[in-house]
Amino acid sequence: MKKLLAALALPLALLASTDSRAVAIEVTFAGQATGTLVYEAISITDPIQSILSFDFALPGLTFDENDIGFFDVGLGSTFIGATVNDVSFVLADTPDFFFVLHRGPGPNALTSSVYSYPGLGRVVGFSGTSTSRVLNAVPEPSALALLGAIALASAVTHRLSRRK
């Protein structure tokens, strides 16, 4: 039994020390702004690590993940905007927008929300809400391999102890 515990000690210590893997989080928008955003983060309240998909529409405009950028502004919020001019700047008569996404379960109001499009002649505010949910988390491949190694070590140790 002591050999089995010794064989399992290192893999269990490694498993406990591995960083959490990012999960996919889906945000749905309602109001003047509609669509979905799917991003990776450690949890629903942590900063966005990467944008996986973005399907977003405002009156007269549509955007996808190739059109946007983001940066964390702290306090559970992320600035998201089109990269036409700058993520945090909207010029009149350009297909552009930005808003502050408050990370966490919703519904949450979109704040600092403005947009413009060619021919509009000005920058206008828009209203909307966001609701976030964690999509099915998938175990990290290295964690699965580590669990397999633990099972194999356990089986080998058990078999060796039965031979004696």
Residue 2, pLDDT > 60, answer: no
Query: CB under 8 Å to 84, separation ≥6 — which residues?
Result: 67, 91, 94, 95, 96
Does the model's pTM come out above 0.85?
Answer: no
Q: What's the rounded Cα separation, in Å, for the pair 34 and 57?
A: 5
Q: What is the pLDDT of residues 64-106, one digit of tens each?
A: 999 999 999 888 899 999 988 777 778 888 889 989 988 887 7
Confidence of residue 16 (pLDDT cuts 50, 70, 90): very low
Comparing 22-26, 55-59, 117-121, 137-141, which segment has the lowest mean pLDDT? 137-141
Q: Within the chain, where are the H helices?
A: 2-17, 141-163
Query: CB under 8 Å to 60, separation ≥6 — which residues?
Result: 117, 120
